[in-house]
């Protein structure tokens, strides 16, 4: 096949990639082919944020962690999707009950069960992720949490993964910060010994708020 013929056959696909790259502000960023119909644009962010438990009104800070992956442009449709790995360090929960007369402190570990996926369309970023929530190093007490509640590391966790669906509007994906937010349900806990029922009563349930801010990786 001649060079001219090869150019004619691949020209529309190359044009689609260049059009998508221009629309995303990616014309100077190296790309890598993902498949015959997809091209990947690498992205990397520092992630931090917070979550508020509806039942108690307590807020827990998250991060800073990282989100590393790629935006994937379909060269046939120009559709843009996201696939990335989220890592968050352990967080510290401090729950105040009975107007502060009783407090519970614990270490919380959120471990994703797979990559974060999402789409970018008309300036709206929509993401989906699933993660296990593990609780350990639990202390409780009146006014000051001084009494330990026994747990086995790695065992006290939600009975099923948390489903997190977060969105952000008017997004410039390569001009952070990008703030995604949404709500999620905390399932019941298991293998927490005497803390099973207590954790379920205190934190398990729907409509918990979650906000994550994505900034340029340092």
Domain ranges, ordered by start, for the chain: 3-216
Burial 37-69 (b: 16+ CB within 10 A, else e): ebbbbebebbbbbebebebbebebebbebbbeb
CB 115 within 8 A of CB 69: yes
Per-10-residue mean pLDDT of the chain, 218 residues long, equals: 38 48 50 71 94 92 96 90 96 78 87 96 95 90 78 84 96 88 95 78 93 91
The pLDDT assigned to 69 comes to 95
Distance, in Å, from the CA atom of 99 to the CA atom of 1, rounded to the nearest integer, reads 78
DSSP H or E stretch at residue 8 = helix 3-24
Q: Which residues contact 184 (CB under 8 A, 6 or more apart)?
A: 162, 163, 164, 165, 206, 208, 210
Contact 217, 205 (CB under 8 A): no
Output the pLDDT for position 35: 62
Structure tokens at 92: 């510290």
What's the pLDDT score for residue 28? Answer: 43
Q: What is the pLDDT of residue 61?
A: 96
Q: Report the alpha-carbon distance of residue 44 to residue 46 in Å, rounded.
A: 7
Q: State the pLDDT at residue 99.
A: 59
């Amino acid at each position: 096949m001649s060079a001219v013929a090869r150019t004619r056959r691949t020209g529309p696909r190359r044009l689609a990639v260049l059009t998508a790259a221009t629309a995303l502000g990616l014309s100077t960023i190296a790309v890598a082919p993902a498949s015959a119909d997809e091209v990947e644009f690498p992205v990397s962010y520092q992630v931090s944020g917070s979550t508020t438990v509806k039942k108690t009104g307590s807020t827990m800070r998250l991060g800073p962690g990282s989100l590393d992956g790629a935006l994937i442009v379909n060269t046939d449709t120009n559709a843009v999707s996201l696939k990335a790995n989220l890592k968050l360090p352990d967080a510290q929960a401090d729950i105040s009950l009975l107007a502060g007369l009783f407090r519970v402190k614990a270490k919380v570990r959120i471990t994703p069960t797979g990559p974060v996926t999402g789409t970018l369309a008309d300036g709206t970023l929509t993401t989906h992720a699933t993660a296990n929530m593990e609780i350990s190093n639990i202390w409780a007490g009146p006014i000051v949490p001084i009494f330990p509640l026994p747990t086995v590391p790695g065992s006290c966790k939600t009975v099923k993964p948390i489903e997190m669906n977060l969105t952000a509007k008017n997004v410039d994906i390569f001009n952070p910060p990008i703030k995604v937010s949404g709500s999620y349900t905390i399932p019941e806990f298991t293998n927490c010994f005497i803390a099973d029922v207590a954790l379920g009563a205190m934190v398990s349930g729907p409509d918990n708020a979650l906000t994550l801010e994505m900034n340029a990786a340092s």
